[in-house]
Amino acid sequence: MTEAEFMIKNSQGLHARPATALVSLTAKFKSNIFLIRDNKRINAKSILGILVLAAEKGARLKVQADGDDEKEAVQAILELADKKFGMAEE
């Protein structure tokens, strides 16, 4: 299992559009991928699960991946988060 932490940097948090970008990315990997915030652990391939986290700007999340491509999956998610999920700032 590979895991890492990241912070939500985009001003609107992890709302529908960035959640969609995240689900599109995670769907490319064979590994099981989860996001954890507080005591909530959700499937990162589920848009509803991601939205349930209600992650606002500054929220810290942990990503866990388990499978053949787990390291690549975690790295890709960290890069997407660092790029503010592709969202232009308002």
Both tokens of 73, joined, read 């999956």
Spot the catalytic one: 9, 15, 37, 84: 15
| DSSP one-letter string for 23-54 | HHHHTT-SSEEEEEETTEEEETT-HHHHHHT-
| CA separation for the pair 87, 38 (Å, rounded) | 25
Residue 15 a catalytic site member: yes
Structure tokens at 55: 């992650």
Single-letter amino acid, residue 77:
I
Which positions are annotated as active-site residues?
15
